[in-house]
Chains A and B, each alone.
Chain A
């Protein structure tokens, strides 16, 4: 990993113009959280790890990142943005579009923002909101790039670009995502998710499928029929139309 190779290919004005490269860290989101406590976060800072020992997914799950891209993009949210949660869908759409354009292969999105390839997970985005006098979202983006294989527990559900037959440099994946991310984030923050929704829909593999949403309070089962302008997934269930905003979303095969 050479951060200079990322910087060379950037076409952005803010995103990635300051890169914090960590050869080894626990996780880039944890590192960003420490920078937040120290008042060091600025819009557009990107933290990239050569390797991380404690990569995390949703609800404290382990994220295996050896040979992959692990980066956190710091986004400052202007005061006027009131519904900021769909920034996660926006980041997902940008990432899926970027990797599809870079590789010429189709990668799609499972709600809200898992990057999928033939039903296996290529990447995920764990986002954290940090609030002091400013509001920052930390977009923790993990993409499987150069892994030849995965540990047994996840081998059946994970895929890397290498396994998909694509020899791509981690740096090029990073710059492609950052270049796609900036204009989409600008649109989201200026006009809201309503203006991003169509990009998300173009690259999704969720709508039209039977979905199970697992929440600690129980399951919601139904057919995903749409997402609304606020980013909620709309399901047609036995009990009528329901909206889902959080939980584990499983697509039934």
Chain B
């Protein structure tokens, strides 16, 4: 998770009705809590010191501890990750529209994208029902094993 993604998440929390957002990805956890005034700030819960990932260092600069308010709904986003190394395709064919867009509601079992490597096609299905909050890779860009593809607000 890089600085830009965190900024996006902060904006997301600001705009949405949710009061707190907690995301765990690759062993790093971030929690964003909305203050009563309605502005969101990020607060690290636990960021294990990564051995080979100096790019996580800037996170510390943006993080300002905030007094914890009493939270109502604690809701987290659900991540859909890539099961293989390959190329991310957002549509079944070049002429077709994308499977899903940000803001779409999806059902469990609905196809979200295709990951291809060496003509091995993997249709990625949603394992929950909810709303697409974020589509991480650009169409036809390479993705790594375990990389987050979608973030879904469970319904």
Interface residues of A (CB under 8 A from B): 58-61, 83-89, 112-113, 125-129, 131, 137, 215-217, 231-232, 245-247
B96→A125 contact, CB < 8 A: no
Please indicate the chain A residues that have their CB under 8 angstroms from the CB of B89 in the complex: 59, 216
* In the complex, number of A-B residue pairs with CB atoms less than 8 Å apart: 73
A112 to B87, alpha carbons, bound, how many Å? 15
> Most chain-A Cβ atoms within 10 A of its Cβ — which of B85, B117, B118, B142?
B118
A246:B92 contact, CB within 8 angstroms: no
Interface contact B92-A87, CB-CB below 8 Å: no
Residues of chain B touching chain A, judged by Cβ–Cβ distance below 8 Å, are 83-87, 89, 92-94, 96, 116-123, 138-142
Roughly how many angstroms separate A84 CA and B96 CA in the complex, as a whole number? 28
Residues B141 and A129 in contact, CB atoms below 8 Å apart: no
Q: Which 10 A-B pairs have the closest CB atoms?
A: A60-B93, A216-B140, A85-B117, A129-B122, A246-B87, A112-B118, A85-B118, A246-B116, A127-B120, A217-B140
A-B residue pairs in contact (CB < 8 Å), sample of 22: A59-B89, A60-B96, A84-B120, A87-B120, A88-B120, A112-B118, A113-B118, A113-B119, A125-B119, A126-B121, A128-B123, A129-B83, A129-B120, A131-B83, A137-B120, A215-B140, A217-B140, A245-B85, A245-B87, A245-B117, A245-B118, A246-B116
Residues of chain B contacted by A84 (CB below 8 angstroms): 84, 120
Minimum Cβ distance to chain B for residue A63 (Å):
13
* Of the residues B87, B92, B94, B119, contact of A88 by C-beta under 8 Å: B119
On chain A, the residues within 8 Å of B116 by CB distance are 58, 246
Bound CA span A152–B86, Å = 34
Q: Name the residue of chain A whose CB is nearest to the CB of B123.
A: A128
Candidates A85, A215, A247; contact of B120 at CB < 8 Å: A85
Query: How far is the CB of B145 from the nearest CB of chain A, in Å?
Result: 8
